[in-house]
Amino acid sequence: MDDNVKLDIRLVERLMARGEVKRDDYEKHLKGLADTAAQADNVEASLADHGGSLVAEPAAAAEPKKGKGAK
């Protein structure tokens, strides 16, 4: 696996738990990253913009399973 993939924030905790990545190596990697905050743009988004809702709709109740011989 590519080192950049191993150090991806979405995977690194799992890989550290397995012993595939050392915490010291990850900390060193983080310290070596460039500060690009000045290049960032703020983005505002809302689920309402896409017809979504922050409140989950309740799931429909499942029909009870019928046993052998049930009509």
- For 46, the token pair is 């809302």
pLDDT of amino acid 2: 78
- Looking at per-residue pLDDT, the higher value among 27 and 66 belongs to 27
Task: Express each pLDDT in 3-57 by its tens digit.
Answer: 778 888 899 999 999 999 999 999 999 999 999 999 999 998 877 766 656 566 6
Hey, where are the domains in the chain? 1-33
Close Cβ partners of 23 (under 8 Å, ≥ 6 residues apart): 16
pLDDT of amino acid 45: 81
**Distance separating alpha carbons of residues 62 and 37, to the nearest angstrom:** 49
